[in-house]
Amino acid sequence: MKIKYLLPLATTLFLYSCCGDESKENPVESKEEKTEATHEGHEHAEEAAALILNDGEKWKINEEMMPPLTNIAMHINDFNVANKQDYSLLASNLQEDINSLISSCSMTGKSHDELHKWLVPFIGSVNDLAEAKDDTVAAEKFEAVQASMATFNEYFE
């Protein structure tokens, strides 16, 4: 149960520390203006959130961030190869790796922004896996985790 609350808290702190408090940037923007911007820009937000390559090349990940990413890939690969069924343990291991990744984040600039575009949905997929109530649902959520890791491998090295 504690892990269930730790990851969202860590994610929130990570995103806050990386992105800052946007409410300070435009204190006069009303709630209504924010709502309108969200509705008007919904399709554009999805386009903006699409990962892009670095002038046709994969983004470089800082060396100190690679061990948690390597562990994530290893856990996913080992689980898939061994055809294990302990989805809960896998989710727990992935959440620990995500926490390590977040605490080791030293990237800045566009590569950091692109990593966030991948990381936030990946965290959501791992949370979904952790919350799966049965193996059938967990297997579906695991497929989403695998697909997300494949996306990571397309855009980062």
Per-residue pLDDT of the chain (157 residues; tens, 9 = 90+): 445 544 454 454 444 455 443 333 444 443 334 333 333 333 334 444 899 999 999 999 999 999 999 999 999 999 978 777 799 999 999 999 999 999 999 999 999 999 999 999 999 999 999 999 999 999 999 999 999 999 999 999 9
- Residue 123 near residue 7 (C-beta atoms within 8 A): yes
* Tokens coding 93: 């291991």
Domain assignments of the chain as residue spans, ordered by start:
2-20+30-155
Q: Which CATH architecture has domain 2-20+30-155?
A: Up-down Bundle (1.20)
What DSSP designation does 61 have?
P
Q: Which residues does residue 156 pair with via DSSP β-bridges, in sequence order?
A: 59
**Cα–Cα distance, 79 to 59 (Å, whole number):** 26
51: Cβ contacts below 8 Å, ≥ 6 apart:
114, 117, 118, 151, 154, 155
pLDDT computed for residue 24 by the predictor: 38
- Residue 142 near residue 90 (C-beta atoms within 8 A): yes
